[in-house]
Chains A and B, each alone.
Chain A
């Protein structure tokens, strides 16, 4: 790199060319006031607090935007430079209110954050002549539930705008009007709460003076402690810092992490107070004798005391464990099953599956991965030999084209979506393929709104174009792929013209996109549950694998396959073996060598047959008495199948039919309501453990606050149950031996995380595979081989398979379920987070305006949606991204639980239910 020699405050300095005077000075310990400049944001040079004197120049130069040229003589401390620096601070300070919103520490006399800090640095006070000219106060805008807008403290530095538009690309904030009237606005100067703001709070984090503040943390900024951790919501894995005062998390800061670089979304930043909800269970609960297991008693009127009584831990743990022992002796190991959680830590997942395998004695252990990416994992294991992503999300910055299919990333992986939008700003072409047109479409190059359920038709026709137009990467195929000829032959029949009639995308568009993908220098595919939650989910993913393979778009930066993981630790929980057919690290339970290894490792005989999956276990709970595999007792930790499973009436009936159900959770969830024993557990910020995000990055969460009342860490509870089932586990050390559990897991998963020990995780995030202490970790895999038996990718052709339940005269429309930005999974946490609840307080069904006209409905009106399995009543939301003939319902709302409608039909390979398609009827209420 070339360097520049120049003079700074009389010192000869050599600095890299292109580095700003500000940054050079900073490295030399020379402090220059600055307000509009913030690391991570593009320098803007508008505040002029950082001006310096350059010899021979008529005016002063903003050091944040100016790079030295050879021989330049710069002074940051000349009389002239200091004069302007001080004047800028005084002019800004003169317009700010006496009472500020962002005190330095707890000092009311330094009320304006960074402006106060620099004013103190330069000893600036506002002279009376300017103080009397203070601008007219602007009324506060308190319309947003999470953020206060006090523009009387605004200095027009536009950091919020750059945060909103350059970083998050949410494009809500602007600087409007002109001159002294220049004003931060939302949309068309709407109140923040009425604007298109998605509440990511990046503006709040960027604001230097407190004009934008989290409502929960206005005034004194002093806190009792700051605790570094990971966000507990989606699979992106944003690092956070919890700000704790009086044993409460009062605000959350985004922390520099590989997945988020300090960015957060509304859930991570403003959704943490669920842990302080009065609904937390604080004592073990035991079902009162003779009370029916009926979820309908959760109507808001029935007091939980009518159903449960409080108990001591000793009594509750005995009552939880003893029936498991009894059922196991009477009916055998297969009579028990356990659902672990993708929301807990790796250590919890590992111990939970170990408990089921060694204590219950079968492989009947699963978790919600079955409901989200089971088909993706099945196809990926079959095709490329690994169920995880090939490239991290942020690799999109190296792609010149990305396909986002069956995914609504701005709602479900908001921070991951920011990297996609950033890439689009730099010229990456985004192709959105989805029956629903969602927010990301504003940034797309092409939007393919294909007909629901026709993924394979669209993808096979793209394969057809690539094969017939000789756009295949033959070198890659010959060296690294199997079954190529079969695939090529198979897709011959799927011409774009023919498939256009099926999927509704014009043939020319299919050709254009296929060519662009094949000929891109680097192209990546990211997908979500729109792909996986079908009876042909595995086939959908097989097509994606084929697309990446025949074009050679894998194994390099900016390429590859990325199933966007839903839950914060769904990757880690699956890795840890929380699935019925695999031991930790995807070692098949019926593989003799793996089986032997684990029998020795755990020093106990193990079942060598795969266990049942989530939906199968629900069926087995309702199996006839004669079925030797009838499930009679269950231990459910941190999952809520009474909301998340398809065909809820059936699933709830199954849960209620169990002889013994133990639920370990932080709230009395719909599932817990059906339990015999409820064990009060700890929320994520109340415990220490690791999680693995969608990028395969392992990260540490640390305890910030104590669990409420008698609630206990999950790791402790699992060990207590294990002890009462006769297992003797030796884990010791702080946080219930979490480090020792991790270390045992590391031995079981040496091929993945062998090189990542506890101390290394404590120091920072590491991406696996990482097999030794000096292995930096491998964010991108499959460079030269696939972890399949022969090292080659196996291409699997896919046929067109229709959804299990087609619309008909009685149920003429299609229901798509999914999530929305504010509510996560079944809503048990987010609906108890005050801000998130205020933003999305109730259930809605989305339809496009043309559909509303067709059905004679009005937006805002209440309707009934019925399927063959159930019905719900909720309010209509107009969303023109929803295709005609289709309705969309988020599944987080117990009062209108979408899964009462859904169809439990399964993908034959991945065993994932078809959440994305069932037939419904809409009627006005």
Chain B
């Protein structure tokens, strides 16, 4: 083709080339703008002499996310600069947590975010239809499905901004959106500091702190009671105290209220009712184990509980019954994995919530590299009662040779879902019949999940197995946090298994290959009408054997249970 060397095109191309060769007008990478820097400073303050605390990064991200309804890139850059952190370090932390809504600088933040729970119990209660209706009707609102909100007894559950909506309907959600009702609900029933103290609260903590109650006797009581960690792992509480106490100081304590296991809502229920019973347990544990500081990690979904706990901590600190350790309340940001104790510790340090490799164990090398006592909320909630009533009384409960009491979070197809304080070792059938008023109308027991999403799925024929630590392992299941979800004859185990596998894929931290790739591929394979059992078994094996933490290790439980107990649902032999 003939071209005229003097055409405009050529000149244009040369000009373009020159333009491309313009040197940058600033340093490499994004630079903090004065405006964004000022906005960040207004929220987090000017840096102290030795700089902002690195571990408060997530708190600072919350401040920005709350204020601007999202995290704009310009704020991430400015926050990094203010905290003298690499931009990428702030970004990778922010992008790990689902509740941080990262926005390009030219995007518009949603005025309201509506979250609709899509976990199993809410799904059984029709949350999928609710979600799609809301997405259809609320056009200028960010309506998103979210994993378990911890309100399975109120299914379907939703959140408008920071306000929880129980038994949500299109009308109850849109009403709140229209009225801009986004603040956390009040909790009028909670026992506040004065009432708690008037009723004899904190006497025990005072005695322990003053040495009137020997520390050894406290640990002895825990040991006699057989109290085990109630977050799911079930480690002997008394033994844990002894181990951490024997480590060199300074020692720290981390309290796990990241109650994210689908089906679990006992911690929230107790916290919203009687926060100081828990705090007194904290004080006693810190005193006996000798922890200088306590970090309470509360999942971000529990806005009501956070408001309450913030107020009650302030009341306690204003009027301390004894010398208090430093107590900091930390806010999760939407990550199930942070219920894993080492991931929680990472998160408290302001990092991505990626579980650590063990050894070393966190009792030796935990928070900020210090020996750390990590406890679930409920474990501490029991302390006062155990010490006041005596270990024997607690240990006297139990059925089928099991010992103690358990709080079961029961949801699904039962007449009266809720937190049920029942003897350890109770069977599912007894639990439903004696504590839940039986199955819901028209429902016949088909299957149940004894331990949330991770604990596996059992068929109705195994409804007479005692529910406790160690009793379900022979059946390929475990009790975990005692979140019992009950399925009826119209439900399917494969749907339940797919629901929880999608949940694991959504919540996998992505660190290790078996869990990151395995949950994702398994969830895809599990949509097939006829399952590829060989491939799923292979995935199950590598996930169970080679994942870093319990999430990936337990994720294949529903696969195996469906293949073992419900093969007819996935095209296998009955």
Q: Give A residues with C-beta under 8 Å from B.
A: 45-49, 51, 59-60, 62, 65, 80, 83-84, 87-88, 91-92, 94-95, 127, 129-130, 133, 135, 155-156, 165, 171-182, 185-190, 194-198, 442, 840-844, 849, 859-860, 875-880
Q: Judging by beta carbons under 8 Å apart, are A178 and B96 in contact?
A: yes
State the CA gap A172–B521 with chains docked (Å).
30
Q: Judging by beta carbons under 8 Å apart, are B92 and A174 in contact?
A: yes
State the CA gap A173–B29 with chains docked (Å).
12
Q: Judging by beta carbons under 8 Å apart, are A182 and B28 in contact?
A: no
Docked complex: B504-550 residues within 8 A CB-CB of A: 505-514, 516-521, 524-525, 532, 535, 538-539, 541-542, 544-548
Chain A nearest CB, measured from B412 CB (Å): 26
Chain A nearest CB, measured from B500 CB (Å): 14
- Contact (A188, B524) CB under 8 Å given A59-B553, A877-B27: no
Looking at the complex, which one of A88, A91, A196 makes contact with B29 (CB distance below 8 Å)?
A196
Chain A nearest CB, measured from B524 CB (Å): 5
Q: Judging by beta carbons under 8 Å apart, are A841 and B22 in contact?
A: yes
Report the nearest B residue to A80, measured CB to CB. B545
Q: Judging by beta carbons under 8 Å apart, are A843 and B23 in contact?
A: yes
Report the nearest B residue to A840, measured CB to CB. B23
Docked complex: B1-48 residues within 8 A CB-CB of A: 21-31, 34
Looking at the complex, which one of B30, B96, B510 makes contact with A188 (CB distance below 8 Å)?
B30
Chain A nearest CB, measured from B362 CB (Å): 16
Chain B nearest CB, measured from A445 CB (Å): 9
Chain A residues lying within 8 Å of B77, measured Cβ to Cβ, are 188
Q: Judging by beta carbons under 8 Å apart, are B519 and A48 in contact?
A: no
Besides A48-B547, A176-B91, A196-B28, 5 new A-B residue pairs in contact (Cβ under 8 A), listed by A number: A48-B546, A87-B541, A133-B525, A156-B516, A841-B23
Chain A nearest CB, measured from B249 CB (Å): 20
Chain B nearest CB, measured from A669 CB (Å): 21
Chain A residues lying within 8 Å of B86, measured Cβ to Cβ, are 165, 171-172, 174, 442
Report the nearest A residue to B528, measured CB to CB. A129
Chain B residues lying within 8 Å of A172, measured Cβ to Cβ, are 29, 86, 88
Chain A residues lying within 8 Å of B87, measured Cβ to Cβ, are 187-188, 196
Chain A nearest CB, measured from B145 CB (Å): 15
B76 within 8 A of A: yes
Chain A nearest CB, measured from B54 CB (Å): 13
Looking at the complex, which one of B76, B513, B521 makes contact with A48 (CB distance below 8 Å)?
B513
A-B contact count (CB 8 A): 193
Chain B residues lying within 8 Å of A94, measured Cβ to Cβ, are 517, 521
Chain A nearest CB, measured from B453 CB (Å): 15
Q: Judging by beta carbons under 8 Å apart, are A187 and B88 in contact?
A: yes
Q: Judging by beta carbons under 8 Å apart, are B521 and A133 in contact?
A: yes
Q: Judging by beta carbons under 8 Å apart, are A181 and B546 in contact?
A: no
Q: Judging by beta carbons under 8 Å apart, are B516 and A88 in contact?
A: no
Looking at the complex, which one of A45, A62, A178 makes contact with B509 (CB distance below 8 Å)?
A178
Report the nearest B residue to A155, measured CB to CB. B513
Looking at the complex, which one of A46, A49, A51 makes contact with B545 (CB distance below 8 Å)?
A51
Looking at the complex, which one of B512, B519, B542 makes contact with A87 (CB distance below 8 Å)?
B542
State the CA gap A178–B546 with chains docked (Å).
19
B310 within 8 A of A: no
Chain B nearest CB, measured from A548 CB (Å): 27
Report the nearest B residue to A821, measured CB to CB. B28
Q: Judging by beta carbons under 8 Å apart, are A175 and B92 in contact?
A: yes
Q: Judging by beta carbons under 8 Å apart, are B525 and A60 in contact?
A: no
B203 within 8 A of A: no
Chain A residues lying within 8 Å of B23, measured Cβ to Cβ, are 840-844, 875, 877
Q: Judging by beta carbons under 8 Å apart, are B24 and A877 in contact?
A: yes
Report the nearest A residue to B514, measured CB to CB. A48
B89 within 8 A of A: yes
State the CA gap A80–B92 with chains docked (Å).
34
Q: Can you name 30 A-B residue pairings with CB atoms under 8 Å?
A: A46-B511, A48-B513, A51-B546, A59-B546, A60-B546, A87-B542, A88-B513, A91-B513, A92-B517, A129-B525, A130-B521, A135-B520, A156-B516, A171-B86, A173-B88, A174-B88, A175-B92, A179-B506, A179-B508, A179-B520, A180-B520, A182-B510, A188-B77, A188-B91, A196-B87, A841-B21, A841-B22, A842-B22, A876-B25, A878-B31
- Interface membership of chain B positions 211-232, coded 1 if the CB is closer than 8 angstroms to chain A and 0 otherwise: 0000000000000000000000
Looking at the complex, which one of A80, A127, A156 makes contact with B510 (CB distance below 8 Å)?
A156
Chain B residues lying within 8 Å of A59, measured Cβ to Cβ, are 544-547, 553
Chain B residues lying within 8 Å of A188, measured Cβ to Cβ, are 30, 73, 76-77, 87-88, 91, 102
- Interface membership of chain B positions 53-95, coded 1 if the CB is closer than 8 angstroms to chain A and 0 otherwise: 0000000000000000000010011000000101111011001
Looking at the complex, which one of B73, B88, B516, B544 makes contact with A180 (CB distance below 8 Å)?
B516
Q: Judging by beta carbons under 8 Å apart, are B510 and A179 in contact?
A: yes
Docked complex: B78-123 residues within 8 A CB-CB of A: 84, 86-89, 91-92, 95-96, 98, 102
- Interface membership of chain B positions 322-350, coded 1 if the CB is closer than 8 angstroms to chain A and 0 otherwise: 00000000000001000000000000000
Q: Judging by beta carbons under 8 Å apart, are B513 and A47 in contact?
A: yes
Chain A residues lying within 8 Å of B518, measured Cβ to Cβ, are 91
B318 within 8 A of A: no
B357 within 8 A of A: yes
- Between A188, A876, A880, the greatest number of chain B beta carbons within 10 A of the residue's beta carbon is seen for A188
- Interface membership of chain B positions 155-177, coded 1 if the CB is closer than 8 angstroms to chain A and 0 otherwise: 00000000000000000000000
Give the 3 A-B CB pairs with smallest separation, nearest first: A196-B29, A182-B510, A860-B25
Q: Judging by beta carbons under 8 Å apart, are B26 and A129 in contact?
A: no
Docked complex: B490-510 residues within 8 A CB-CB of A: 505-510
Chain B residues lying within 8 Å of A198, measured Cβ to Cβ, are 28
State the CA gap A22–B302 with chains docked (Å).
44
Q: Judging by beta carbons under 8 Å apart, are B525 and A174 in contact?
A: no
